[in-house]
Amino acid sequence: MASPQTVARPFPAAAVQPTLAPRHQQPLGQILLEDGAVDPGNLLKASVMRGRQDSRLGQILLSQGWVTPEALLRALCRQWRTTALDPIRTPGDPRLIDILGAEFCLANAVLPWRRIGGVTWIATARPEAFEAMIPGLPESFGQVRMLLCSEDQIQGAILASRRIAMIRKAEMRVPAAESCRSRNEARTGRIALGAIALLVLGLWLIPVAVLSLLTAWATVSLVAQSGLKLMALLATRRIRAEERVQAEGLTSGKAARAEMTGPLPVISVMVPLFRESDVAGKLVGRLSRLDYPRELTDILLVIEASDQVTRNAIQGARLPGWIRVVEVPNGPVQTKPRALNYALNFCRGAIIGVWDAEDRPDPDQLHKVARGFHFAPADVACLQGALDYYNPRTNWLARCFTVEYASWFRVILPGVARLGLVVPLGGTTLFFRRDVLEQVGAWDAWNVTEDADLGVRLARRGWRTEIIDTTTDEEANCRALPWIKQRSRWLKGYAMTWGVHMRDPRALWRELGPWRFLGFQIQFLGSLSQYLLAPILWSFWLLSLGLPHPLREPLAGVWGGYAIPALFGTFIVSELLSIGVGIWAVRGDKHRHLTAWVPSLHLYFPLGCLAGWKAIYEVVVKPFYEIWAKVGDA
């Protein structure tokens, strides 16, 4: 057996960084050919692919099924003149993992195995990157010797000894000051109950004054929301006009399409699953439509250890090599963001994405993501794609939901991003620069709308989100009760996110600036106010029917008697604006049939009012209840 390659590491450190001893390496492809482990034609294709991709030759051969893992490991041992290790059969010293950190080991595919006679033995699945990693090793490691094993073996060995520590860290990634976990639930409950008691008492003692204040606030929030909607619409129209000019330039030949100059990156996409019984039949089929190179596609199916339904479905599925399963250990909370934080440790890519179980992304979506990050400015940390529904004809509720989503993802969000405001991220079709995602603490494991919260934290640290032209289809909620549960979860998360970031308003003002701070208030507090106070505004339609209203007389003398007409004018303009946004959002061929249904959204949003009050109840009583609630219960 060949002797392991030795790296001399002085102790204490010398001025010159240690390097691997010089040697004449035989190319990996030549070794595989000599062993008869690979077809020459496949090796040639893999070599060509390697020239335009950020991937190792062995990884390409494995992902395409052109070489077996065992044959590749034998060839790597010959190439690097070292020995293969099975860390599961011969466990190492877990204290060495603690010195480097489990997250560092997983990210770099290394396992500090044992320290024997002043030499630290380290197994790696990426021998070509071993030398570059050496300067980052602690001085206490002294001399280092390299062993080889597979990435799966490294992950298994680390999980065997450090699984609990990793899940605890996943629960605490976000600092306590920015996390919902440090929320004083008892204090919040007392404040909420006190506010409700004061409201009831005020309505009993001074009903006109209280109703006047509530009406004023509801009207102000309505005007602010409508103003933001109008500005977003105008900004989005400018974006579309610019895109048309660019398209005409490309068509006429006056402009050339910019080409990527670097290799395609590895993209890891996490797909959180919870009680999904049809992983084999539908999910894998939808993901197989992706046309991104398989060797650069890293899909992680993230499941809970206690979820026997999904576990059974996966056991019966034949998953391709580019789809892996990550099992999340049990803990004090069982949430989607907690699962994402844990699975993030196992991602291979420099770009991290999230899809939901029922998603059907465009086949070229990952190509657009790679291109988007390649040409995006350095301060763009996130790319958000559009969500759409593939069952809008199911019933009236599905039609309205589709119109609402089209308005949000095709009008409001692009406009908000162009205006430089905080972008409340959607829960899927999200892609991040990995280093930035880890820098901001990833997801808050205790927040029910972890996506919107993450969007705020990115903005507070100076990062931007851009909207890319790609769509992910999913199934629309088309039953009233599941819709209310889903919407109440979103609004509960909005309330918790607003409360967390408003713990220190001055710090939020300082980090966001006046413009984005105002936008944050309109987007979060304004949205909540509209859902909760909508019945007060609706009550004024009684006046149009000649029915009595408690504020008829007080408002009759305001503004020379024009207060009530002004109020009705505000309602009508706001409604016309919403209808206009909806019609513009569904103007394409895919959803043009929904145009006639847009005005019926006036009857759709009362369901949101019910969801809003349900959300407030749950914020007080059970803030972390049903965080894993399935949003696709159509």
Q: Are residues 125 and 269 in the same domain?
A: no
- Distance, CA of 514 to CA of 530 (rounded, Å): 22
Q: Give pLDDT tens digits for 76-93.
A: 999 999 999 999 889 989
| 152 in any annotated domain | yes
| 225 in any annotated domain | no
Domain assignment of residue 266, given as a range = 257-475
**C-alpha dist (Å) from residue 501 to 181, 195, 498, 524:** 13, 21, 5, 11
pLDDT of residue 189: 67
Centre a 10 Å sphere on the Cβ of residue 43 and count the other Cβ atoms it contains: 21
Which pLDDT band holds residue 584 (cuts at 50, 70, 90)?
very high
Last residue of a domain, one of 124, 152, 168: 168
Which pLDDT band holds residue 6 (cuts at 50, 70, 90)?
very low
| 180 in any annotated domain | no
Average pLDDT estimate for 137-143? 86
What's the CA angle centered on 409, arms 406 and 412, to 5 degrees?
100
Residue pair 91/157 in contact (Cβ under 8 Å)? The answer is yes
Last residue of a domain, one of 137, 168, 199: 168
Average pLDDT estimate for 442-469? 94
- Distance, CA of 347 to CA of 299 (rounded, Å): 8
Half-sphere exposure of 353 (CA within 13 A, CB side): 26
Which pLDDT band holds residue 4 (cuts at 50, 70, 90)?
very low
Cite the beta strand spans of 128-179 per DSSP E. 143-148
Q: Are residues 34 and 163 in the same domain?
A: yes
pLDDT of residue 8: 40
What percent of the chain clears pLDDT 70, i.e. is strictly above it? 92
Label the pairing between strands 464-474 and 380-389: parallel
| 632 in any annotated domain | no
What percent of the chain clears pLDDT 90, i.e. is strictly above it? 55
Q: Which of 343, 251, 254, 351 is nearest to 297 (CA)?
A: 351
Last residue of a domain, one of 432, 454, 475: 475
pLDDT of 155 > 60? The answer is yes
Beta bridge partners of 192: none
Q: Give pLDDT tens digits for 374-417.
A: 999 999 999 999 999 988 999 999 999 999 999 999 999 999 99
92-106, 360-374, 611-625: least confidently modelled range: 611-625
Residue 277: what residue type?
S
Average pLDDT estimate for 441-455? 91
- Distance, CA of 151 to CA of 266 (rounded, Å): 16
CATH assignment at residue 425: 3.90.550.10
Q: Are residues 163 and 293 in the same domain?
A: no
Please, where are the H alpha helices in 545-590? 552-556, 563-585
Which pLDDT band holds residue 275 (cuts at 50, 70, 90)?
confident
- Distance, CA of 606 to CA of 499 (rounded, Å): 25
Q: Are residues 35 and 143 in the same domain?
A: yes
What's the CA angle centered on 419, arms 471 and 421, to 5 degrees?
85
pLDDT of residue 5: 46
| 286 in any annotated domain | yes
pLDDT of residue 521: 97
| Domains: count for the chain | 2
Q: Which of 575, 472, 560 is nearest to 530 (CA)?
A: 575
- Distance, CA of 600 to CA of 448 (rounded, Å): 29
Could you say which DSSP state residue 271 is in? E
Beta bridge partners of 325: 301
| 201 in any annotated domain | no
pLDDT of 622 > 50? The answer is yes
| 222 in any annotated domain | no
| 499 in any annotated domain | no
Kindly report whether the global pTM for this prediction surpasses the value 0.85.
Answer: yes
Q: Are residues 417 and 304 in the same domain?
A: yes
- Distance, CA of 119 to CA of 124 (rounded, Å): 16
The sign one gets for the Cα dihedral 282, 288, 294, 297 is negative
